[in-house]
A and B are shown apart, each in its own frame.
Chain A
C-alpha cells in the first residue's frame, strides 16, 4: 500500500468544505430532532385520540422506514408535485425528522420516569398545567435523558454520509469525488475516517460536560 502525503495536502481544501457541510448537517439536524422530538412527545400526552393517533401513525411511519428511502423520496419525488428545496435543506430536514422519531421515545421515557409524587405535589400546590410542565416535569425529564440524546448525536453524525445520495457534498462526498478524479482512494478516505473519530469523540466529551453541568 502506498501512502502519498501530497494527495493528502491536495485533498485538504476539499476536506474543509466537506467538514463544514457535515457539521452544518449535524448541528441543524440535532436541533431539529431535539425540538421536534419534544413536540411529538408532548403531543402524545394530549388526552384525546384525535391527536395521539395521527401523531403516533406519522412518527411510527417515519421511524420504521429507512432514512435513505426518505431522502430519495423528498429529493426526487416531491419536485414532481412542485415542492423543491435545495439538496442541503432537504437533507437536514430529512435527518432531523427521522431522528426526531427516536428522540421522541427518549423524551417519553424521561417524562414517564419523573416520580408520580412530583405530579401530585404540583397538583397540591395548585400549579397551572403550563407551569407544571415547564417548571416541574420537563426540567427533571430532560436532565435524565441528556446521555441518551447524546447517543443520537453520534449516530446522526455517522448517518450524514447518506446525504451523499442526494448530491450533498459532505465529507464522504468530497472524498469520493476527489478519489474519482485523481484515482487516489486511500488518502482521502483515511483522512475522513479519522475526522469522524475525532468529531464523535469531541461531541461525546461535550455532551458529558453538559451532563455534568445539568446535574449540579
Chain B
C-alpha cells in the first residue's frame, strides 16, 4: 500500500538544485569571498603609529575588557570600572584623551579583537607572556599576581599546586585563553583533558556542580568570585612553575604592535604614577595591596 507514486516523483524532480548547479554555486560563492577580502589597513606601519593623535582628535579611546572582577568590568550601575579601566582613565586623561568607551568581550577574544581594530587598548589586566608578546605589545605591568584555585569547600583533594592536580588526577578547569592552561600543561596535565569554560563564573559553577575538581585563575579573580558561593572556597595563592622556576605574573595593557608611540607615552605616565604612589591609591579599592605593586617590565616578562 505505497503512497501515490506520481506526485512524489514530480516533487523530487523539481525540488532542490541539481548536483552540478550546486557545485557551480559553491564555486561562485568562493570566488566572491576571495574577491571581497581586501586588506584591513593596520594603521601607519612606519614611525610607531599615529593612534595617539587620532585618539586626541576623537576625544575617546575604546578599551577592550573581559568582564572580570576586579580587573575590568561593568558594575551594577552600568558603569565601566575595574583596576585597568580606572587606571586607563587617569593615564589617558593626562595624555589628552578625555573619555573611555568599554568594549566587553570574552577574554580569549581580547587579542584578536585588538588586532582587528575593534578597540584601541586591552584594559583587562592581561598577563604578559611570550606567546602574547608575539601578537601585541605591552605596557609595563601595573601589578604582579599569583595564581589560586577554586575548589570545593574543605579542599577534599588537597590541591595546592599544579603538581597536586596532576598527581591526584583531579579534573582541571580554566578559562578560554587563560595563561593557566600552559601552567597546567607544563606540570604534566594532558591538554585535551582540560575543561575550558567561558569565564570564572562558569568555572565556579563547574566546581560546584562537580564537573571539575579545580578551577585555576588569578588569586584576585578567584577570591572575588567565591565570595558569592556557599559550596566552594579558594586556596592560598601560589607561584606557578614556568620553565622550571617559580614564576610571578604581571598584568599590563596591550596595544597593537604598530603603535609603539602610544605605548611609550602610556609607559611614561604609568611610571610617574608608580613613583608618586598614586598607582596603589587607584588600585586599592579593587583589593590590590602593596604586595601586588611591581617593578617588573614588559621586556622581562616577554622573555627577552
Chain A residues near B (Cβ < 8 Å): 1, 17, 76, 79, 84, 86-87, 118, 136, 139-140, 143-144, 147, 165, 167, 169, 176-177, 179-181, 183, 185, 197, 201, 204, 208, 211-212, 215-216
Q: Does B275 interact with chain A (Cβ within 8 Å)?
A: no
Also in contact, A177 and B211, with CB within 8 A (given A1-B37, A211-B12, A215-B9): no
List, in ascending order, chain A residues with CB within 8 A of B9's CB.
Answer: 215
A197 near B26 with CB under 8 A, answer: yes
Q: Nearest-CB distance from A86 to chain B (Å)?
A: 8
A147 to B11, CA, bound (A): 10
- Are B3 and A140 within 8 A (Cβ)? yes
Please, which residue of chain A has its CB at the minimum distance from the CB of B106?
Answer: A180
Whether A215 touches B2, Cβ cut-off 8 Å, given contacts A1-B37, A180-B109, is yes
- Binary per-residue interface labels of chain B (22-33) against chain A in the complex, 1 for a CB within 8 Å, 0 otherwise: 100010000000
Residue of B nearest to A79 (CB): B209
Is B197 positioned at the interface, with any CB of A under 8 Å from its CB?
yes
CB-CB under 8 A from B205, the residues of chain A are 76, 79
Q: Compute how far the CA of A144 lies from the CA of B192 in the bound complex, rounded to whole angstroms.
A: 44
| Contact, CB under 8 Å: A180 / B211 | no
Q: For B130, what are the chain A residues with a Cβ–Cβ distance below 8 Å?
A: none
Cα–Cα, bound, A177→B56 (Å): 36
**Among candidates B177, B181, B196, B210, residue contacting A169 with C-beta atoms closer than 8 Å:** B196
Extra contacts besides A140-B3, A167-B195, A201-B22 (14): CB < 8 Å: A1-B39, A79-B208, A84-B209, A84-B211, A118-B1, A139-B1, A165-B198, A176-B176, A177-B176, A181-B181, A183-B135, A211-B12, A212-B12, A215-B9
Interface pairs (22), CB distance under 8 Å: A76-B202, A86-B211, A118-B1, A136-B1, A140-B1, A147-B11, A147-B15, A165-B198, A167-B202, A176-B108, A176-B176, A177-B196, A180-B112, A180-B176, A181-B181, A183-B112, A183-B134, A197-B26, A208-B12, A215-B3, A215-B8, A215-B9
- Those of B97-150 within 8 Å (CB) of chain A: 108-109, 111-112, 115, 131, 134-135
Closest 4 CB pairs of A and B: A79-B209, A180-B108, A180-B177, A1-B37
With the chains together, A60 CA to B209 CA distance in Å? 30
User: Quick check: A181 and B12 within 8 Å, CB to CB?
Assistant: no
Interface size of B in residues (CB-CB distance below 8 Å):
37
B257–chain A nearest beta-carbon distance, Å: 12
**What residues of chain A lie closer than 8 Å to B202, measured between beta carbons?**
76, 167
Residue of B nearest to A167 (CB): B197
Using a CB–CB cutoff of 8 Å, the interface residues on chain B facing chain A are: 1-3, 5, 8-9, 11-12, 15-16, 22, 26, 37, 39, 108-109, 111-112, 115, 131, 134-135, 176-177, 181, 192, 195-198, 202, 205-206, 208-211
Within the complex, the shortest CB–CB distance from B267 to chain A, in Å, comes to 24
**A27 → B minimal CB distance (Å):** 22
Q: Which residues of B lie under 8 Å from residue A144 when comparing CB positions?
A: 3
A147→B14 CA distance, assembly (Å): 13
A192 to chain B, nearest CB (A): 15
A183, B1: Cβ atoms under 8 Å? Answer: no
The smallest C-beta distance from B138 to any residue of chain A, in angstroms, reads 15
B195 nearest CB neighbor, chain A only: A167
> Which A residues lie within 8 Å of B206 (CB)?
167
Minimum distance in angstroms from B108 CB to a CB of chain A = 4
Of chain A, the residue at the smallest CB distance from B15 is A147
B contact residues around A208 at 8 Å (CB): 12
Question: How many whole Å from A193's CB to the nearest CB in chain B?
Answer: 10
